[in-house]
Structure 1
Amino acid sequence: MKDRRAKAVTANRPLKIGALAAAALCLLPMIAVAIAAATGSLDTLRHLADTVLLRYTLTTLQLMVLVAVMTAVIGVSTAWLVTMTRFPGVRIFEIALALPFAFPAYVMGYAYTDFLDHPGAVQTALRAVTGWGPRDYWFPEVRSVGGAAIMLALVLYPYVYLLARTAFLQESATANLAARSMGRNAWGAFWRVSLPMARPAIAGGVLLAVMETIADFGTVSYFGIQTFATGIYTSWFSLADRGGAAQLALCLLIFALFLAILERIQRGQAKNHNAGKRFERCPPIRLTGWGRLGAVVLCGAPVLFGFVLPLVLLLTMGLESEQNLFSNRYLHFLQNSITLAGVGALATLIAAIFIAFNQRLNPSRLSTSSAHLARIGYSVPGGVIAVGLLVPFAFFDNWVDAQARAWFGVSTGLIFTGTITVLVMAYMVRFMAAALNTLEGGLTTIKPSVDGVARTLGKSPIPMLWRVHLPILRPSVFTAMLIVFVDVMKELPATLIMRPFNFDTLAVQAHRLAADERLAGAAVPSLVIVAVGILPVILVCRSLARQRPGTRSNRSHV
């Protein structure tokens, strides 16, 4: 018996070590930021408090509130319409409403700035029709806090839309029909029954959108808005003050972790709603007259302004730029982007597999805690992760180089920070939650008895994972890798801070051209990023489509 236990412990050891190492790496940037902020000079923090800290705080809070309200209104209303009602084009809107998710917010900002700015098509046509001069009229400024909030809301409302739609799809008809039998109309039943039942999922989606808002760098930096994200970058590069950057990063980290805790609480509350033993879907309401027209307009507006129009604008700008996507220069950018996305996705997937599989085979407080710690990075902005990883690894690189010079008279250079190694680590920390959630969803479909049978056949954990679980999890593994691949392609702040010299990506190139006001040129790499981002959106929508009323694979019974 003791020999069997010893063999089991030995067999599980590589799995546990891999899972704990991955979780420790996800925690490292947060610890490094806290230490760097505590050991940095307080003079910088005092200077920031006297000058820009209040502005950073107020602007960030203003963006958060605006994005939260807009994403909640757009996401909830459209989700309820496509789930609970029937009107012309509803099947198309089910997928189309999620397509703006493929756009990075900074790409949306580039497109609309070129369209709405003073030399853009809208104001040029306005002056041509009215004969007004540049100072004869007022036009909303797109490069403002409100403009940035609209750009962010247009690409982030799918968080709320997808989660709210899932909640509405899982809603039983019992409570809804009871409300209707008591004299409530469709709107009253929605307000009194559907909305309260879906509130945890809606709040979770809004919190995810808010976390992405505080992490955004590309949009706010291009619009000239000073937030914590831009302040970190300015302190690190423009002022060469790593202590000040770490202190700003710590402030943002604390707030991001607070939002992550709220999101976790909301997710836990979402599990408490139960439809009962007998589950029947709410019969969809067929809209007529003005109601049908209003539904088409309400669902069509986010698709038009969040996907169709910016896509047309980018295509037009790209054609006018006369840039060749297949030139050696752009092929180099594309190669760098694919290399980073591929390596980052593979490394993140392997680490997520170790964490998820260790939690399944060795359920304990330690394995559960490691899975929770690994998810922290999703709520932390890329700039914070970049600062948190550069501080310890830059110190290690300098120490190794100094030792090599002292002992052997040679320079080792920058082993970690001079290559893509630390950048791939940053991607792993940032997007571990996306891969882990997808894999855990797949693992729940595999019965525990499968593990027992594999063990009775003499399979240790690693061979069991390779020969039994991974073949079953192939769709989940592919989806997780694709989602992380696309997230890395879109990621800007960490890439901008940590990329090696002369190792630019499509996202960095788009940001650089836009910063130089060469928006037509920025459209070319932006289009490639959007094209790649459409793939996981379609996969998610296809998965949700299987849950709609009448789908055989999702019928519930006792």
Structure 2
Amino acid sequence: MKQKFIPAFTLAMLLVLVALPLLFIILQAIFPHFSAGSWQDAFAGVSPLLRDPQLPAMLGGTLTIAASVALLSALIGLPLGVVRGLFRLPLAKLWDTLFLIPFLTPPYIAALSWTLVLQTQGYLQQLTGVNLNDLLFSRSGIVLVMTLNIFPVVYFAVSRSLLASGQRLALVARVHGATAGRAFWHITLPMGSPALAAGMLLAFTLAIEEYGVPAALGSRAGVVMLTVGIEKKLADWPIDLPGASLLSLVLIIVALGGWWLQRRLVGEKEVTSITGKPGENHGAGAGILLLPAILVMSMVALLATGLPVLSMALTGIMSTLSGGVSWHNVTLSHYAALFSQQGDALSALGTSLSLAFCAALVTGTIGLLAAWLVVVQKIKGRGIIDALSLMPAALPGVVVGVGLILLWNRSFWPVSPYNTWAILLLSYCCLLLPWPVRYVSSALRQLGGNLEPAARVHGASALQALRLIVLPLVSPAMLAAMLMVFAIASRELVTSLLLAPAGTQTVAVFIWRQFEQGSPGQGMAMATLTLLCGLMLMLGALAIVQRGERR
């Protein structure tokens, strides 16, 4: 009975978190009056959507910006990742930390930080007299801001792939007469191409689902994206649920199209070494390339990490922006206001931390069960569980928000999480479920298939083997994934804006509202604290993973 309970429970949770919200989006898109309980006029909303003059601009803006971000992320992340993966660099872990910070910085915070730096009378103009306001509020500016925030996914994918594979085969080619360039082009680069393609795909996916940057910069730049269009259809009166659902489907199709293209390009190509497990890669000496490599990495780190973080921290201690950068304008009043009992900051912080903690527990549990059923138990129907558990990776946050609204804002539910904090928890769990699934699945595949069968032979049930053998062995990977879920969930913006009930604020909503209300000082003070907490959690997660790999 218990053996049947675990698959049934896991499948039920995946249906609630993933399948049902997606199903209700599809039904609302097909039947315009579905929210009113009517099945009439099927596909009647398609024609108005196609006639919408904003549709080509939204779709074109989304595709061009996402493709530009993916390509530019590759142009930055590939050479930096190659240098990090192939050569011995001084303070190598410091470079990893510096390039980790942009990924941990929520894109909307990065956009707001760059606004404070580059806008008219911003920090750059105050200190140097240079005004780059027109560059910031343009399509190029949006692409640059998003790229500086997203390129680390390519950097880490390439560098970790090369660190794992090493240069042994390239050195063999050099011994047999190949030049350094030919060895890199024909051996090293093909072995890293799957990681590069995966990183570019992730960059494309992150770009098409981004809401904060186009919302902060797009209106003044005349650029619209699908995420902003969906949010407006839900926020502006009259609310257009069919239009939001159809645009959500378009966004899903774009995301799945990116996955399909990546599979077509590299999915059927497998580059492997048949000489056994590679030894530890200590890297080669960079020689004359060391100084140029350090200079380039320093410049990228300054642009991607230094200036936005400095802007964020500086704004948090400036009394007023108009007062300029001077000692007389320094104050700690913004931080004092955050911890004042009269403000909303403590409540927002408590809400975000509580929701993030619960999301980490829920996703960790479901991720463990889903990965165990697919990888170890290999139950019948495991393909459905695997697909549902990983599908949120292709679902933008705004789409998840729309699906949860359509699903739970119904009169026929006896109890509904809609308009409560629980709806936020559901959205975070749906969005972040792939993290624990991927981490635990990878850890389970490294365990081999002997330990659990041995326990079963000695009389242990499947549940006992899971609890006493599998869980302790995969706990480092699971804990690392849960820490990442906690860090990301604590600053999620778009679903929080769509789903937060009246009177409830999260950290992300608090920061966004502070800028809307003209109080950037408090917003950036909260952003600085959020970034520091996220960085400590992520470094802790990486340390746990590395400790687990050494055991």
TM-score by length of 2: 0.87
Identity %: 23
What is the deviation of 1:176?
0.9
What is the deviation of 1:473?
2.3
Tell me if the contact between 2:111 and 2:213 (Cα under 8 Å) persists in the aligned partners: yes
* Structural mapping, 1:61-100, within 5 Å: 61-100=63-102
Give CA deviations for 1:450-503 in whole Å, capped at 9, x if unaligned. Answer: 212322343323333223322222212211211111121121111111112111
In the other structure, the counterpart of 1:406 is none
What is the deviation of 1:190?
2.4
Higher RCO, Cα 8 Å, sep 6+:
1
Distance 1:469 1:87 in 2: 37
In the other structure, the counterpart of 2:534 is 533
Q: 1:271 to 1:11 in 2, by over 3 A?
A: farther
What is the deviation of 1:419?
1.3
In the other structure, the counterpart of 2:158 is 164
Aligned counterpart for 2:140 among listed residues 146, 159, 162: 146
Tell me if the contact between 1:380 and 1:430 (Cα under 8 Å) persists in the aligned partners: yes
What is the deviation of 1:187?
4.1
Distance 2:266 2:474 in 1: 24
Matched, 1:343 2:361: no
Q: How many residues align?
A: 518
What is the deviation of 1:301?
2.0
What is the deviation of 1:155?
1.9
Aligned counterpart for 1:305 among listed residues 303, 307, 320: 303
Distance 1:44 1:510 in 2: 36
Shifted more, 95-104 versus 429-438: the winner is 95-104
Aligned counterpart for 2:378 among listed residues 349, 363, 371: 363
Which secondary structure does the structure 1 equivalent of 2:52 belong to? helix
Distance 1:46 1:432 in 2: 35
Q: 1:460 to 1:90 in 2, by over 3 A?
A: closer
What is the deviation of 1:208?
0.6
Aligned counterpart for 2:149 among listed residues 142, 145, 155: 155
In the other structure, the counterpart of 1:326 is 339
Give CA deviations for 1:192-218 in whole Å, capped at 9, x if unaligned. Answer: 321122111100011011101111111
What is the deviation of 1:314?
1.1
In the other structure, the counterpart of 2:27 is 35
In the other structure, the counterpart of 2:523 is 522
Give CA deviations for 1:517-555 in whole Å, capped at 9, x if unaligned. Answer: 5333321221122122213542565578789xxxx959x
Q: 1:177 to 1:283 in 2, by over 3 A?
A: farther
Letter matched to residue 64 of structure 1: A
In the other structure, the counterpart of 1:49 is 51
Distance 1:484 1:553 in 2: 23
Tell me if the contact between 1:109 and 1:151 (Cα under 8 Å) persists in the aligned partners: yes
In the other structure, the counterpart of 1:399 is 412
Distance 2:537 2:350 in 1: 21
What is the deviation of 1:249?
0.6
Which secondary structure does the structure 2 equivalent of 1:152 belong to? helix
Shifted more, 137-146 versus 237-246: the winner is 137-146
Distance 2:291 2:509 in 1: 42
Tell me if the contact between 1:443 and 1:473 (Cα under 8 Å) persists in the aligned partners: yes
The answer for unaligned runs of 5 or more in structure 2 is 33-42, 320-332
The answer for unaligned runs of 5 or more in structure 1 is 1-9, 130-136, 402-413
Tell me if the contact between 1:94 and 1:541 (Cα under 8 Å) persists in the aligned partners: no
Letter matched to residue 220 of structure 1: P
Which secondary structure does the structure 1 equivalent of 2:432 belong to? helix
Matched, 1:482 2:483: yes
Q: 1:448 to 1:196 in 2, by over 3 A?
A: closer
Q: 1:280 to 1:173 in 2, by over 3 A?
A: farther
In the other structure, the counterpart of 2:227 is 229
Tell me if the contact between 2:409 and 2:416 (Cα under 8 Å) persists in the aligned partners: no
In the other structure, the counterpart of 1:6 is none
Tell me if the contact between 1:208 and 1:263 (Cα under 8 Å) persists in the aligned partners: no
Aligned counterpart for 2:6 among listed residues 11, 15, 21: 15
In the other structure, the counterpart of 1:197 is 191
TM-score by length of 1: 0.86
Distance 1:427 1:269 in 2: 33
Q: 1:474 to 1:197 in 2, by over 3 A?
A: closer
Tell me if the contact between 1:99 and 1:303 (Cα under 8 Å) persists in the aligned partners: no
Tell me if the contact between 1:19 and 1:358 (Cα under 8 Å) persists in the aligned partners: no
Which secondary structure does the structure 1 equivalent of 2:275 belong to? coil
Distance 2:318 2:247 in 1: 40
Give CA deviations for 1:101-142 in whole Å, capped at 9, x if unaligned. Answer: 211111111111101100202123444x9xxxxxxx875431
What is the deviation of 1:372?
1.9
In the other structure, the counterpart of 1:374 is 389
